[in-house]
Amino acid sequence: MAEETIFSKIIRQEIPTELLYQDDLVTAFRDIAPQAKTHILIIPNKLIPTVNDIEESDELIMGRLFTVAKQLAKEEGIAEDGFRLIMNCNQHGGQEVYHIHMHLVGGQPLGKMLALK
């Protein structure tokens, strides 16, 4: 069983955080160290450590991450100009908290993500 993370405590509101969205599957809140004008984290309420740990039974949860991202982008006024969704996996992918989470970033031009050659 995966160990609890800071996100588990945010979901349960044991750490005071303004929630932008919460239902039985996912929770969303602003990143404490934003990398763009809009930077929201959308997390499953179920603790899934990495993308590698997603099971077929988690497909509804994973789909909800995207529908909530779409809703929040519209509410934040960034849907029309565009935004980026990022999910990191493990150390080389830049994952810091081992409770999968989607970053919704936008509100400004973001440029290229990677310079692939």
Tell me what pLDDT residue 41 has.
98
Smallest Cα–Cα separation from 86: which of 106, 115, 61?
Answer: 106
Please give the positions annotated as active site: 101
CA distance 39 to 105: 4
pLDDT tens digits for 28-38? 999 999 999 99
Helix (H, G, I), strand (E, B) or coil at 106: strand
Question: Using CA atoms, how far apart are residues 32 and 93, in angstroms rounded to an integer?
Answer: 20
14 burial class (0-12, 13-18, 19+ CB within 10 angstroms)? exposed
pTM: 0.92
- Please write the tens of the pLDDT for every residue from 61-113: 999 999 999 999 999 999 999 999 999 999 999 999 999 999 999 999 898 87
How far lies 6's CA from each of 10, 86, 89, in Å? Answer: 6, 19, 17
Q: Residue length, the chain?
A: 117
Rg (CA), the chain: 14
116 has a pLDDT exceeding 60: no
The residues pairing with 41 across neighbouring beta strands, listed in sequence order, are: 29, 103
Domains of the chain: 6-106 (3.30.428.10)
